[in-house]
Chain A
Amino acid sequence: MKGVEFILASWRSTFAETVGQLRRWFQLEKTPCCTMAQNNSSFPVKLFIYDLSRGMARQLSPVMLGRQLDGIWHTGVVVHGKEFFFGGAGINRCLPCGTILGQPNSVVDLGYTEVNEDLFMEYLDSLAESEYRCDRYNMFEHNCNTFSNDVVQFLTGKKIPSYITDLPSEILSTPFGQAIRPLLDSMAVNPGGNDITGQR
């Protein structure tokens, strides 16, 4: 029974990725993922926000944590037609909406950047060797949202919305959060995608 469920889940994710590619080939770009206008020097930057709990946090957080959390937020930065995020395997990139998380809960438009793709990739490579190596991942202190915040500041000078970056401290301020902290410290969110430096 569980096996069937595993297969189902894995096929879901497989086909979600395949379908993502297909949508691109068929140029069926009706989602926020793929409508990226680009001119020579100005590239739009968007922040994709996902709720890892798929709505469970909104329902269960008052009970479990004692305070209302609308979601467990995971973010990815979408620029130059790709989505970049930091997970347990380091900095990853994929096609927008190309992780198993699917479509984002919300998209924040962060304006434009002049940083072209080459420069951005160099920047990310540097990050991947220093601040954002795979072993630097910490679910509370140094997670995907930390990365998104840094990258977005680099690209645009702005920060990501504070309700995202405040999430770890909100959780840790509850007794439940403190209790599960050791567990969460050992976890890592890794929605997939490709490692940016080709390493794992």
Chain B
Amino acid sequence: MAEQGAADLGNNNNNKPEASEGTIIKVTVKTPKDKEEIAIAEDASVTQFKEEISKRFKAKQDQLVLIFAGKILKDGDSLSQHGIKDGLTVHLVIKTAHKAADGGSTSASSSTSTQAGSSSASSPAANPAPTTVPAGSGQAPTQTPNIMSGFGDLASLAGLGMGSANFMELQQQMQRQLMSNPEMLSQIMENPLVQNMMSNPDLMRQMIMANPQMQQLMERNPEISHMLNNPELMRQTMELARNPAMMQEMMRNQDRALSNLESIPGGYNALRRMYTDIQEPMFSAAREQFGNNPFSALGGNSDSGAQPSRTENREPLPNPWGPPNSSNPSESGGGTTGSTSTSGTTNPSVSNPLGVNPASLGNGMFNSPGMQSLLQQISENPQLMQNMLSAPYMRSMMQSLAQNPELASQVMMNNPLFAGNPQLQEQFRSQLPIFLQQMQNPEALSVMTNPRAMQALMQIQQGLQTLQTEAPGLMPSLMTGGIPGVPTGGAVPAENPASSPSSAATNPAQQQLMQQMLQMFAGGGGSGGGNGTSQTPEVRFQTQLDQLNAMGFINREANLQALIATGGDINAAIERLLGSQPS
């Protein structure tokens, strides 16, 4: 057949009995890999069309599947029946062996990998509902890296560079890296910090609940909140996160278990009870077992969880996450819901059930080389910070921080910048509520996420330091020079990436720099020159306090707060005080 002579109308009556009209149309036939233009009579049948195609694409006719406008063209149809006209595109799929007659098809679209693909495709085809096991097993490997994607960041971010500005994409890239390096995963899991985090189901639950999407889902499906409350499930999930080899099995067990749950009317109540019974022993057991394998603790404990809950052990257990150089005080008193006492240990409180001392979290996290490189990365690229900040969960994180100032303070306290300066810590702690409020203030946020604003702030600080060195007499209260900190605008302002190289050496100047920074932020950009000495606020502001007292502001606490917020600026402090007083 002279299909090459497409434009030659005279050839159209070779093998086309119906081609009395003689209209040849050019139809584009598109395969996934290829595209060809085929000339065919307008009123040809699909069979004839396939003949042409099989010649052109060198495939057997029964391997060809033609699709047009969502319809599969059957052999008995005609092209015009489907509305195939000149210039339109018809899609072609050349089927592989298991449907066609011969196995070794030479068509462009089939290959050995297609075999593998279609074998997994055929099982979903047999199962009209969305696949459970294959999809579950397929998804399972990605769940491990999902859990650990954050830690993948630490280890591999340094090498990754700015692979992605979107934090979610960054996560996914981390997942992939993690997937390709199972050793990394086991290393990460061995990190006691990780184990502690994972062993705190309530903390996990809190974090999960903080996710608005989860909240939505939980509203719609109360069963899910029961699931989250199920310690068995949590433990299983954590275990299988540790052991990718177990993953599939656990997922399948989980499937079955959960579908059983559904059918047991009283099952949820039982689970909830069990959770409450297990909760306290589990927490204390987990803390006891720090350093050992917390999962064995959990495993062992869950066996005993079936027994009636033992008498509540009100005595606070040694805090395994205390700062490395602090001993573990075994002070008694205070229930499991008691408030925290010393700054070294953090007893379990209502919002912090496991008494996880975030200070040590910060310790572990910040000291890792990965984190250092992360901070460096961030400093080099404010865009990342910006995107990180704008990620949706950032907001919820900051909100929960604001609600839990103690957590935030612990974390910040542990920052190496502050470690050597207790006065600064105190000051920061007092400023913290204000600071957290500022964090919530979208304007402050936008300032922080604006790289140009950040740079401007840097310049201001640089200028201040230059001024101080040039004219020390002019501003005696300014600190000695150091590397200007780059305000990162992260949830913790003390994450000072530019100073990360020197973060190991706690430079008092840096701390005071941070102090200044905080004052600036808290005061909404008040005088940058503020008081930078390392005395306590009361001492520093003694003069101002006296003045305020003389003016009639007798509320010393409020005065102090106002002074701290405004960095010692009396007039601004007065305005603040007046603004807050009922007038």
Interface residue ranges, A against B (CB under 8 Å): 1-19, 21-26, 28, 30, 34, 38, 45, 52, 54, 56, 80-82, 87-89, 94-96, 98, 100-103, 111-119, 121-131, 153-158, 183, 186-194, 196-200
Q: How far is the CA of A180 from the CA of B490 in the complex (A)?
A: 23
Per the 8 Å Cβ criterion, residues 329-380 of B in contact with A are 358, 361-362, 364-365, 371, 374
* B173 & A190 in contact (Cβ 8 Å cutoff): yes
* A126 & B93 in contact (Cβ 8 Å cutoff): yes
State whether the Cβ of B4 lies closer than 8 Å to any Cβ in chain A. Answer: no
Q: List 22 A-B pairs, Cβ < 8 Å.
A: A3-B193, A4-B361, A12-B211, A13-B149, A19-B221, A21-B139, A34-B130, A82-B124, A82-B130, A87-B172, A88-B169, A103-B213, A113-B71, A115-B70, A118-B122, A122-B95, A124-B117, A126-B33, A126-B108, A130-B32, A130-B33, A186-B162
The 9 closest A-B pairs by CB, nearest first: A6-B150, A157-B69, A126-B32, A121-B121, A126-B109, A3-B365, A156-B70, A130-B33, A113-B70
Q: How far is the CA of A122 from the CA of B262 in the complex (A)?
A: 37
Of the residues B69, B132, B262, contact of A156 by C-beta under 8 Å: B69
* B217 & A19 in contact (Cβ 8 Å cutoff): yes
Per the 8 Å Cβ criterion, residues 462-478 of B in contact with A are none
A118/B113 contact (C-beta < 8 A), A14-B147, A22-B227, A89-B176 known: no
A9/B70 contact (C-beta < 8 A), A1-B362, A116-B125 known: no
* A115 & B72 in contact (Cβ 8 Å cutoff): yes
* A3 & B361 in contact (Cβ 8 Å cutoff): yes
Contact with A along B405-416 (1 / 0, CB 8 A): 000000110000
CB-defined contacts of B258 to chain A, threshold 8 Å: 22, 25-26
State whether the Cβ of B20 lies closer than 8 Å to any Cβ in chain A. Answer: no
State whether the Cβ of B208 lies closer than 8 Å to any Cβ in chain A. Answer: yes
CB-defined contacts of A111 to chain B, threshold 8 Å: 70
* B118 & A118 in contact (Cβ 8 Å cutoff): yes
A131/B491 contact (C-beta < 8 A), A10-B150, A118-B125, A123-B93 known: no
State whether the Cβ of B204 lies closer than 8 Å to any Cβ in chain A. Answer: yes
| Segment from B39-47, B391-399, B522-530, B558-566 that makes contact with A | B391-399
* B208 & A1 in contact (Cβ 8 Å cutoff): no
Q: How far is the CA of A49 from the CA of B213 in the complex (A)?
A: 17
Of the residues B143, B162, B172, B390, contact of A191 by C-beta under 8 Å: B172
State whether the Cβ of B151 lies closer than 8 Å to any Cβ in chain A. Answer: yes
Q: How far is the CA of A188 from the CA of B390 in the complex (A)?
A: 19
Per the 8 Å Cβ criterion, residues 244-260 of B in contact with A are 255, 258-259
Q: How far is the CA of A117 from the CA of B99 in the complex (A)?
A: 13
* A131 & B33 in contact (Cβ 8 Å cutoff): yes
CB-defined contacts of A5 to chain B, threshold 8 Å: 150, 393-394, 397, 491
Of the residues B125, B167, B361, B490, contact of A117 by C-beta under 8 Å: B125
Q: How far is the CA of A9 from the CA of B65 in the complex (A)?
A: 44
Q: How far is the CA of A194 from the CA of B175 in the complex (A)?
A: 12
What is the chain A residue whose CB lies nearest that of B256?
Answer: A25
CB-defined contacts of B361 to chain A, threshold 8 Å: 1, 3-4
* B193 & A187 in contact (Cβ 8 Å cutoff): no
**Distance (Å) between the CB of A114 and the closest chain B CB?**
5
**Distance (Å) between the CB of A97 and the closest chain B CB?**
10
A189/B227 contact (C-beta < 8 A), A117-B121, A197-B113, A197-B117 known: no
Q: How far is the CA of A16 from the CA of B142 in the complex (A)?
A: 12
CB-defined contacts of B362 to chain A, threshold 8 Å: 1
CB-defined contacts of A100 to chain B, threshold 8 Å: 168, 171-172
Q: How far is the CA of A130 from the CA of B108 in the complex (A)?
A: 10
* A21 & B136 in contact (Cβ 8 Å cutoff): yes
* B67 & A114 in contact (Cβ 8 Å cutoff): yes
Q: How far is the CA of A81 from the CA of B144 in the complex (A)?
A: 24
CB-defined contacts of B221 to chain A, threshold 8 Å: 19, 22-23, 26, 28
CB-defined contacts of B142 to chain A, threshold 8 Å: 17, 192-194
Interface of B is mostly: helix
State whether the Cβ of B138 lies closer than 8 Å to any Cβ in chain A. Answer: yes
* A114 & B70 in contact (Cβ 8 Å cutoff): yes
Other A-B pairs beyond A3-B151, A118-B118, A198-B113, 10, CB < 8 Å: A8-B393, A9-B391, A10-B150, A17-B139, A22-B221, A95-B135, A126-B108, A157-B68, A192-B146, A197-B116
* B358 & A129 in contact (Cβ 8 Å cutoff): no
CB-defined contacts of A194 to chain B, threshold 8 Å: 135, 138-139, 142
**Distance (Å) between the CB of B459 and the closest chain A CB?**
23
* A2 & B374 in contact (Cβ 8 Å cutoff): yes
Q: How far is the CA of A156 from the CA of B392 in the complex (A)?
A: 35
State whether the Cβ of B165 lies closer than 8 Å to any Cβ in chain A. Answer: yes
State whether the Cβ of B540 lies closer than 8 Å to any Cβ in chain A. Answer: no
Q: How far is the CA of A96 from the CA of B448 in the complex (A)?
A: 36
* B117 & A3 in contact (Cβ 8 Å cutoff): no
Q: How far is the CA of A80 from the CA of B135 in the complex (A)?
A: 13
Q: How far is the CA of A117 from the CA of B362 in the complex (A)?
A: 50
State whether the Cβ of B312 lies closer than 8 Å to any Cβ in chain A. Answer: no
Of the residues A8, A19, A25, A198, contact of B397 by C-beta under 8 Å: A8
* B208 & A11 in contact (Cβ 8 Å cutoff): yes
CB-defined contacts of A28 to chain B, threshold 8 Å: 220-221, 223
Q: How far is the CA of A196 from the CA of B397 in the complex (A)?
A: 34
What is the chain A residue whose CB lies nearest that of B135?
Answer: A95
* A2 & B365 in contact (Cβ 8 Å cutoff): yes
A10/B128 contact (C-beta < 8 A), A1-B492, A5-B397, A129-B33 known: no
What is the chain A residue whose CB lies nearest that of B180?
Answer: A200
CB-defined contacts of A186 to chain B, threshold 8 Å: 162-163
Q: How far is the CA of A175 from the CA of B124 in the complex (A)?
A: 47
* A16 & B213 in contact (Cβ 8 Å cutoff): yes
* A9 & B130 in contact (Cβ 8 Å cutoff): no
* B124 & A117 in contact (Cβ 8 Å cutoff): yes
Q: How far is the CA of A17 from the CA of B112 in the complex (A)?
A: 31
* B393 & A12 in contact (Cβ 8 Å cutoff): yes
Q: How far is the CA of A88 from the CA of B171 in the complex (A)?
A: 13
A196/B117 contact (C-beta < 8 A), A13-B146, A28-B220 known: yes
A198/B117 contact (C-beta < 8 A), A82-B130, A129-B33 known: yes
What is the chain B residue whose CB lies nearest that of A131?
Answer: B32
* B96 & A7 in contact (Cβ 8 Å cutoff): no
State whether the Cβ of B445 lies closer than 8 Å to any Cβ in chain A. Answer: no
What is the chain B residue whose CB lies nearest that of A55?
Answer: B392
A7/B207 contact (C-beta < 8 A), A25-B258, A118-B125, A200-B179 known: yes
Q: Which of B213, B228, B411, B490 has the most CB of A within 10 A?
A: B213
State whether the Cβ of B197 lies closer than 8 Å to any Cβ in chain A. Answer: yes
CB-defined contacts of B390 to chain A, threshold 8 Å: 56
What is the chain A residue whose CB lies nearest that of B89?
Answer: A153
